[in-house]
Every structure is written in C-alpha cells, then in structure tokens.
Amino acid sequence: MQQIDVDGVPFEVDDSRDGPGFFMMGVRKSGSSMFFKIARQLAMANHINYVDVAGTLFSRNTQVGQWVRSPAINQIIRSGNVYAGFRNFPAGAKDNPIFLEGRKVLLVRDPRDALVSEYFSNAYSHSLPSETSQPGARAALLVQREKALATPLTIYVSDRARMMARTMAEYQPMLADPRCLVFRYEGIIFSKRSMIKRLLAHFGWEFPEARMDALLASVDVRPQTEKAENFIRKVTPGDHKEKLDEATIEVLNAELAGVLKAYGYH
C-alpha cells in the first residue's frame, strides 16, 4: 500500500495489483450514499482497496469544482483499486487508460425527483465537513442551506435544473460504454439484492450469500413517515409529482428534455 498526496490530501492506494480498475459513479441524490456503502462492503469482501475519492476530498473541505476536472486525480489511479464517491463525472480522469478500460458502474435517477431530493438535502440534512480557517465546501454548503431555506421548492428546483442537466449530460457517454453497467434508481431501490448480484457479476467479484441479509439490512431503509430533516426522507420514486405543480414540472421537462430522453425518463 502506498500513500499518495493529491494537493495535500493523502490517499491510500494499492500499487501491487494487476487487472482492471473499478469505478463507482452516481448522480447526486440518486441513492449514491447507499450505493457507495454497498460498494465499500463488496470491495472489502474481495480484498480490494476502496478509494473514496470524493468523500476524502470533501472531508478536507475541498469543493467538487476544485478537483473534478483536474488531471491531478490521475496521480492516484492504479490498476486493481476501486475508485468511488463520484457524484459528478470525473472529467480529469476521462482519458486515463485505466479509466477507459476499467469496469464502471453508474447509478442515475429521474432528475426531477433528484432535484426535489436535493432541495430537502441542501435545506436540512446534507452533512458538512469540519470547520477550517479556509473557505471551502463547508462555506459553500452553508450558503446553499441558507438559500434553500429562503426559497420556495418550486423556484429552487427550477433554478437548479440546468445544473442537474449538465451533470447528467457529462455522464451521458457512459451510456454507450460497454464496460459501464448503468442502474436506474427506480429499478433497484426495492430490488437491492438483484442489483448487488448484477454488480458482482459485472466486476467479477464474489460475496457470501450468508452475509447478504446483513448487508441488505444495513442499507435497505424505508421510512414509515416522511420528515424533511431526515437524510433518508423518502425512497419511493415519483416524488416530484407529489411535491410540484404542473407548471413547475413543465419548466423542468423543458430544461431537462435532453437528458430525460437520453436516460429514458418521460
């Protein structure tokens, strides 16, 4: 194992393995926290080093915009490691041979539901990195929280629709990548066992069936009542139809038209 610093942030990388690299990606507010928790457990069971790229940088108060397009990320990419935590397409690594030839998984969600979830997350429940003397991710999230709390839901999601469309458009080339397995939130949120088995097959990994129930119990959370301040607020697909009026949905449909079509949401 080797420690590699990227702009002062240390990462533990296994430089002793051959074979493909593994990349776990998910559009924000698409069940990605659950997804990455599962991925970490599966990687550990297969004795493969798990590198939480985005989470490690977030814990150091680094904003996504500071690193996601930077080629510096390539310093830590090695064969045989799992790279995860990506909620934005890791553009800085897009031409890296290990990324190009690696086995990838992408989790997406109806962006209209994701935008509603993002509002509640930014307003009430998104975690914050520790306070530091320098502005960074923490300060940006506090600004987002203040803005969300002061803005009606319908206006907030409309204002952020273009940003969500851009995020999903950047991931769009993965739809044609034969090495990328794409999951839709709506198809896996109540079928996690099947999702895990497909992921294992895609990566060529194994996981003891005797441990499957315990893993599922740790991630299959289904709130009985909806509370705005809960991190896991509501898991049922179609939330935007309940929370938004028809005029707002029409605005989102227009702004998101390209990605709604590309990802099969209508």
Calpha distance 188→258 (Å, rounded): 23
> Residue ranges per domain, the chain?
2-262
For residues 138-164, give the mean pLDDT.
Answer: 81
For residues 81-89, give the mean pLDDT.
Answer: 96
Identify the pLDDT of residue 254: 97
Identify the pLDDT of residue 233: 45
Select, from the ranges 1-10, 61-70, 166-175, the one with the highest average predicted confidence (pLDDT).
Answer: 166-175
Q: For tokens 């002061």, name the residue.
A: 150
Q: In this model, does residue 234 exceed pLDDT 80?
A: no
Identify the pLDDT of residue 1: 87
Q: In this model, does residue 210 exceed pLDDT 80?
A: yes
Calpha distance 107→69 (Å, rounded): 20
pLDDT digits (tens, 9 = 90+) for 21-58: 999 999 998 998 899 999 999 999 999 999 999 889 88
Calpha distance 56→234 (Å, rounded): 27
**Integer CA distances (angstroms), 113 to 152, 170, 249, in order:** 16, 19, 11
Among 68-72, 131-135, 173-177, 251-255, name the one with the lowest average pLDDT: 131-135
Identify the pLDDT of residue 133: 47
The hierarchical CATH code for the domain 2-262 is 3.40.50.300
Are 170 and 93 in contact, with CB atoms under 8 Å apart? no
Put the strands of the sheet holding 180-184 in their side by side order: 50-52, 82-86, 22-26, 103-108, 180-184
Calpha distance 241→10 (Å, rounded): 43
Angle (CA) 237-157-33 rounded to 5° is 50
Residue type, 231: F
Are 207 and 196 in contact, with CB atoms under 8 Å apart? yes
Q: Which residue has the higher pLDDT, 108 or 136?
A: 108
